[in-house]
Amino acid sequence: MYTRDIASLLSEQEAALKGQDKREDYRAQQFGGILMRVAILLEERCKPNSNAFAYLKKYSEMCDRDCIQVNGNKCRILETACPVCFTRAKHCPDDAVKIINLPEELDTDLTHSYGENSFKLFRLPSPKQEQIVGILGPNGIGKSTAVNLLSGSFTPNLGDWRNPSPQWEDVITTFPRGELRDYLGLVAEEEVRIAVKPQYIDKLPKIFQGKVLDLLERVDERNEVPHFSRIMGIDHILERNLDALSGGELQRVAICATLLKEADVYFFDEPSSYLDIYERMRMVGVIRELAEKGNRVLVVEHDLAILDVLCDLIHVIYGDRSAYGIFTPPRTTRTAINAYLDGYLPEENIRIRDKPIKFLRGRDRGMDVGTPILQWGDMQKKLGDFELKTGNGEVRSAEVVGVVGPNATGKTTMVKMIAGELEPDQGWCTMEATISYKPQHVNTDFDGSVQDWLDTELGAKWRSGEFHTQVVRPLQVDQLLQLRAKKLSGGELQAVSIVICLGKEADLYLLDEPSAHLDANARMEAAKAIRRTMESNEKAAMVIDHDIYFIDIVSDSLLVFNGLGGSYGNAEGPMSARKGMNKFLKDVEVTFRRDHESHRPRINKPGSRKDREQKASGEYFYLE
Ligand code: ADP
Ligand code: ADP
Ligand code: MG
């Protein structure tokens, strides 16, 4: 038997350390040899009483250059810190400090910094006349920051965070001559009119109390409230109060309010959140029209199918979450999304993920595998004015059923009946299966860290083994362990909730809109994690979602809803993925082709030759 002694442990550790040095060398090579160092403090991790705070306090007294400082409840690491203190800071517990080596050439490309040890943004995308420019990147990487800078909400400080009001003239001359510089000139001179659809629409009802119509009339510069509210499908809710709207309705009101502004440049920060695929396609139509009229449009979006059909060009942004983000030059939409899925940016020689994201072909999908885990027959449910009929169906072990359909047609209601939270008025549903359920709206009142929360819900299971490598790590939940559960962002909370749902022992896993608030990368990782869990444990899942890439990766079969939102809904299936996609997409009038390189589905431009041909032959979705 092989036993380890201290010497072998030591040499292993030495090798590991060398490996680390090699990685730094490798980065140095990638970046041309010279590196600039920055220290980023993640504030919420180094509050007083935290491990990190105590650690930094200890080291604040050890160097006579005061590189690390703790004053009152605030920690600080000097930009000019000595190498020893940088190394000390790097070993701060709970990943509260990130020490980042950046290529020196980026020094002149620093566009904005929120503070000494705060997030830094390098370079910027450039809005273009008559074009829709997309931004693609993970959460917390600086996309909204870029929207704020380009829309003139605040002026880029070029890293000089001490300067509270940088002068546009000084800023503009530092950008190379070209489109971006010209654009910033227009913003500085206030020669362009700008309209912004912000990311966080949930705040809208708090800022504006009143009816939808009052809000729209307040912002209307075109005198076209009736026209645009009809286009966005909100003309029937004009008399409702903002605080009584669903997420999807609120999003459409926000988009409508943006369209009503007579602007030259339009920004849409995550416009598809809460929308079903019908509404996403409608949104694509109206935004495309803006560009066709000659406006510049910039869009931040995580639904790759939508980003793909919407944009002319895409800037990928990469970096380190909460620490820094670097914008890359624009690529064509197809190249950008393929590179993003592949996980490698060839021009920059940057790897953004270890493994490519792959799409399954029809023949790779499970067909009639396993034994029935759950069956139902003609369930019916009336809720207020709404009525749902489910038809007959079953779910088998090792099967993932994707659930698709318009908003308010009863998807959540059906899942709640299966989960035993609602009784059907008529019909039946077998109830032997144990169920793990992630509801649509996740929130928690767990008072403690993510780590404690996971321990409480899952015991020691999440800490190691297959579940850790296949679920916890890909969803990057291992990086959130020290954070307070109550303080998580929407995307972080979603990721933890998915981990908790999948970590429980059950026969059937029900996940209601798991892609909400996740970035494109996390969505694809979540889809893979759900599949893997079902395949390796021979369990079944039902997954409601509106993101077609997510649905395509996750599903073996589909349960398709149709009906009239808010008044009635019918479920059909589960049926094969191919049949289900055809049925569903026919209702939406959208056709997909396969990308010949990445095999990802791509929405055909409405009315294009392929679109017309596929509609004629009834092949809305290519699986081969
Ligand atoms: P994204 O839109 O890509 O999710 P953001 O641009 O909103 O990211 O934020 C990027 C980073 O900047 C985040 O880590 C965020 O915490 C930080 N940040 C955003 N606004 C501020 C601010 N006003 N002050 C300090 N840090 C900020
Ligand atoms: P989906 O998940 O497809 O978006 P839901 O199942 O959440 O749809 O809702 C279907 C319809 O039922 C919606 O119009 C919703 O407003 C209505 N509804 C849901 N729960 C209730 C309830 N407790 N009382 C009255 N109406 C309800
Ligand atoms: Mg954002």
> Is residue 427 over pLDDT 80?
yes
Distance 242 CA to ligand 3 centre (A): 23
* Tokens found for residue 188: 């500085």
Provide the pLDDT for residue 303. 95
407 within ligand 2 shell (Cβ under 6 A): yes
Distance 142 CA to ligand 3 centre (A): 7
Provide the pLDDT for residue 324. 93
> Is residue 24 over pLDDT 70?
no
Q: What is the pLDDT of residues 52-101, one digit of tens each?
A: 999 999 998 888 889 999 998 889 998 888 888 989 999 999 889 988 88
> Is residue 15 over pLDDT 80?
no
> Is residue 25 over pLDDT 60?
no
- Give 380-398 as a DSSP string: EEEETTEEEE--EEEEETT
410 within ligand 2 shell (Cβ under 6 A): yes
* 434 conformational bin, left if phi > 0, alpha if psi -120 to 50, beta if neither: beta
Distance 488 CA to ligand 3 centre (A): 15
Distance 373 CA to ligand 3 centre (A): 40
> Is residue 603 over pLDDT 50?
yes
Q: Cβ distance 270 to 236 under 8 Å?
A: no
Bigger pLDDT: 570 or 31? Answer: 570
- What CA–CA distance (Å, rounded) separates 334 from 339? 9
> Is residue 288 over pLDDT 70?
yes
Cα torsion through 430, 433, 438, 441, rounded to 10: 20
Provide the pLDDT for residue 353. 86
- What CA–CA distance (Å, rounded) separates 509 from 517? 20
Provide the pLDDT for residue 365. 54
386 within ligand 2 shell (Cβ under 6 A): yes
Ligand 1 atom nearest residue 145's Cα: 6
- What CA–CA distance (Å, rounded) separates 495 from 483? 13
Which protein residue has the closest C-alpha to ligand 2 atom 14? Answer: 566
Mean pLDDT, to the nearest integer, of 334-348? 93
**Global pTM?**
0.88
Distance 211 CA to ligand 2 centre (A): 22
409 within ligand 2 shell (Cβ under 6 A): yes
Which protein residue has the closest C-alpha to ligand 2 atom 19? Answer: 383
Helix and strand element counts for the chain (H, E): 21, 27
Provide the pLDDT for residue 3. 36
Task: Categorize the per-residue pLDDT at 7 as very low, low, confident or very high, splitting at 50, 70 and 90.
Answer: very low
For a pLDDT cut of 70, what percent of the chain falls above it? 93
Ligand 1 atom nearest residue 141's Cα: 3
Distance 41 CA to ligand 3 centre (A): 20
> Is residue 606 over pLDDT 60?
yes
Task: Categorize the per-residue pLDDT at 270 as very low, low, confident or very high, splitting at 50, 70 and 90.
Answer: very high
- What CA–CA distance (Å, rounded) separates 310 from 287? 8
> Is residue 23 over pLDDT 80?
no
Q: Pick from 383, 403, 511, 559 the residue to mutate for probing ligand 2's pocket: most ligand atoms within 8 Å of its CB.
A: 383
Task: Categorize the per-residue pLDDT at 309 as very low, low, confident or very high, splitting at 50, 70 and 90.
Answer: very high
Distance 63 CA to ligand 3 centre (A): 38
> Is residue 439 over pLDDT 50?
yes
Q: What is the pLDDT of residues 360-371, one digit of tens each?
A: 765 555 555 678
Q: Pick from 144, 315, 476, 518 the residue to mutate for probing ligand 1's pocket: most ligand atoms within 8 Å of its CB.
A: 144
- What CA–CA distance (Å, rounded) separates 477 from 492? 8
Ligand 1 atom nearest residue 115's Cα: 25
Provide the pLDDT for residue 258. 95
3-state secondary structure string across 456-513:
HHHCCHHHCHHHHHHHHCCCCHHHCCCCEHHHCCHHHHHHHHHHHHHHCCCCEEEEEC
Q: Find out whether the peptide bond into 574 is cis, omega within 30 degrees of 0.
A: yes
Bigger pLDDT: 107 or 341? Answer: 341
Helix extents (H) in 151-201: 168-172, 179-188
Helix extents (H) in 91-243: 143-150, 168-172, 179-188, 204-207, 212-219, 225-231
278 within ligand 2 shell (Cβ under 6 A): no
Provide the pLDDT for residue 13. 44
Ligand 2 atom nearest residue 386's Cα: 12
Provide the pLDDT for residue 368. 57
- What CA–CA distance (Å, rounded) separates 251 from 272? 8
Mean pLDDT score of the chain, rounded to an integer? 88
Q: What is the pLDDT of residues 457-487, one digit of tens each?
A: 999 989 989 999 999 999 999 999 988 999 8
> Is residue 244 over pLDDT 70?
yes
Provide the pLDDT for residue 364. 52
> Is residue 547 over pLDDT 90?
yes
Identify the DSSP state of 328: P
Distance 143 CA to ligand 1 centre (A): 8
247 within ligand 2 shell (Cβ under 6 A): no
Task: Categorize the per-residue pLDDT at 6 as very low, low, confident or very high, splitting at 50, 70 and 90.
Answer: very low
Provide the pLDDT for residue 279. 93
Instruction: Give buried/exposed letters for 534-549 (b at 16+ CB in 10 A, else e).
Output: beebebbbbbbbbbbb
Provide the pLDDT for residue 31. 40
Mean pLDDT, to the nearest integer, of 338-351? 91
Instruction: Give buried/exposed letters for 236-247 (b at 16+ CB in 10 A, else e).
Output: ebbeeebeebeb
Identify the DSSP state of 344: E
Mean pLDDT, to the nearest integer, of 328-333? 96
Count of CB atoms situated within 10 Å of the CB of 182: 12
Distance 111 CA to ligand 1 centre (A): 14
Q: What is the pLDDT of residues 104-128, one digit of tens each?
A: 778 788 999 999 899 999 999 999 9
Mean pLDDT, to the nearest integer, of 135-147? 95
Give the distance, in angstroms, between the CA of residue 262 and the centroid of all CA atoms in the same chain.
30
- Give 228-272 as a DSSP string: HHHHTT-GGGTTSBGGG--HHHHHHHHHHHHHHS--SEEEEESTT
598 within ligand 2 shell (Cβ under 6 A): no
* Tokens found for residue 234: 């909100």
Domains of the chain listed by start with CATH number: 2-108 (3.30.70), 121-193+263-344 (3.40.50.300), 372-588 (3.40.50.300)
**Relative orientation angle of helices 333-342 and 520-537, to the nearest 10 degrees:** 40
Mean pLDDT, to the nearest integer, of 135-142? 94
Using alpha carbons only, give the angle 83, 85, 90 rounded to the nearest 5 degrees: 95
Task: Categorize the per-residue pLDDT at 214 as very low, low, confident or very high, splitting at 50, 70 and 90.
Answer: very high
